[in-house]
């Protein structure tokens, strides 16, 4: 029976590409959702078996709404990741070469800000819910608009590529999270993501917490913080480390971290994308 998989839509987005890459070779029923909360809610209600959402970009950082949702939503885990190179093109209707506005998702516009500043300094930029939505709006409008987005969006909406690869960095990548209701088993090439808030607020307390990983020679691949949404100066930390939560050394480090935390949640242990 095909697996129902939700993704941040609409069709033609990079998230759809990530979903197809992760589930390549599997029979699935793709279901597009309008926003991140809708994907997680559908998974929580078991309308879908898995969900795929953007997690972080190499230029713009993490999708903070996703981090906040992952912390407060019970019973949903990261079970996989996908890392895709992000290539943005300037898209327009055939025959249109000058524009009165340029539309795209805010992250896409930000990732192309230098190109747009140099080549279209006087053209207003308008944010949309997704790159695919921007392409749709351009295709359906009689105005001389352009969109920033992937080639798939151009194909889906009958647009042409005016300028290829307009992103400011050729190293532009986005990491996507694959979400499920059950934790992923060990593979030997895993990564673990954790959210935590420390009990004490004094010099060296974060160093002491992270030392639990260093002295066990567990590599940390990411750490960042988000406001705890309580008192100014209170933060939740997000940490990624190599290894699975069931690995003995990782388990010991996590238990030691939990003992020092006022809030602690294992967001998931999952296979590293491409074994990297």
Classify residue 150: in a domain, yes or no.
Answer: yes
Closest CA to 15 of 30, 1, 2: 30
| Peptide bond connecting 10 to the previous residue in cis, omega within 30 degrees of 0 | yes
The whole-model pTM stands at 0.88
Evaluate if residue 250 carries a pLDDT over 90: yes
Closest CA to 11 of 111, 136, 104, 125: 136
Same domain, 42 and 176: yes
Same domain, 65 and 176: yes
| pLDDT for position 100 | 96
Evaluate if residue 226 carries a pLDDT over 60: yes
pLDDT digits (tens, 9 = 90+) for 66-101: 999 999 999 999 999 999 999 999 999 999 989 999
Same domain, 176 and 45: yes
Strand blocks (E) in the chain:
3-8, 28-33, 50-57, 61-62, 77-85, 89-92, 101-104, 125-127, 145-149, 160-163, 173-180, 190-198, 220-227, 235-242, 261-271
Q: Single out the catalytic residue among 7, 14, 22, 176.
A: 176
Q: Residue 221 catalytic?
A: no
CATH code of the domain containing 22: 3.40.190.10
Q: Hey, CA dihedral for 121, 127, 128, 132, is it positive or negative?
A: positive
Q: How confident is the model at residue 204 (pLDDT cuts 50, 70, 90)?
A: confident
Same domain, 176 and 219: no
Same domain, 17 and 132: no
| pLDDT for position 91 | 97
Same domain, 55 and 176: yes
Domain limits for position 262 = 190-275
Same domain, 30 and 140: no
Same domain, 75 and 102: no
| pLDDT for position 276 | 41
| pLDDT for position 2 | 87
Classify residue 185: in a domain, yes or no.
Answer: no
Q: Single out the catalytic residue among 174, 192, 213, 238.
A: 174
Q: Residue 64 catalytic?
A: no
Q: How confident is the model at residue 275 (pLDDT cuts 50, 70, 90)?
A: very low
Q: Count of alpha carbons within 13 Å of 169, Cβ hemisphere only? A: 12
Same domain, 176 and 78: yes
Q: How confident is the model at residue 119 (pLDDT cuts 50, 70, 90)?
A: very high
């Amino acid at each position: 029976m095909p697996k129902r998989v939700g993704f941040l839509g609409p069709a033609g987005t990079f998230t759809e590409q990530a979903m197809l890459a992760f589930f390549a070779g599997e029979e699935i029923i793709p279901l597009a959702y309008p926003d991140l909360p809708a994907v997680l809610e559908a998974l929580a209600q078991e309308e879908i078996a898995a969900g795929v959402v953007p997690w972080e970009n190499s230029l713009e950082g993490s999708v903070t709404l996703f981090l906040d949702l992952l912390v407060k939503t019970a019973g949903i885990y990261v079970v996989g990741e996908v890392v895709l190179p992000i290539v943005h093109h300037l898209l327009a209707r055939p025959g249109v070469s000058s524009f009165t506005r340029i539309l795209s998702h805010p992250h896409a516009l930000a990732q192309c800000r230098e190109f747009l500043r140099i080549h279209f300094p006087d053209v207003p930029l308008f944010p949309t819910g997704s790159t695919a939505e921007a392409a749709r709006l351009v295709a359906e409008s009689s105005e001389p608009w352009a969109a920033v987005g992937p080639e798939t969006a151009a194909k889906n909406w009958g647009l042409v590529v005016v300028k290829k690869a307009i992103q400011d960095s050729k190293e532009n990548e986005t990491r996507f999270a694959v979400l499920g209701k059950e934790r992923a088993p060990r593979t030997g090439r895993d990564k673990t993501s954790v959210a935590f808030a420390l009990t004490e607020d004094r010099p060296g307390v974060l160093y002491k917490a992270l030392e639990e990983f260093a002295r066990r020679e567990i590599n940390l691949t990411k750490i960042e913080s988000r406001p705890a949404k309580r008192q100014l100066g209170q933060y939740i930390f997000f940490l990624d480390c190599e290894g699975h939560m069931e690995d003995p050394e990782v388990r010991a480090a996590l238990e030691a971290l939990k003992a020092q935390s006022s809030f602690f949640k294992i967001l998931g242990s999952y296979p590293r994308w491409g074994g990297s």
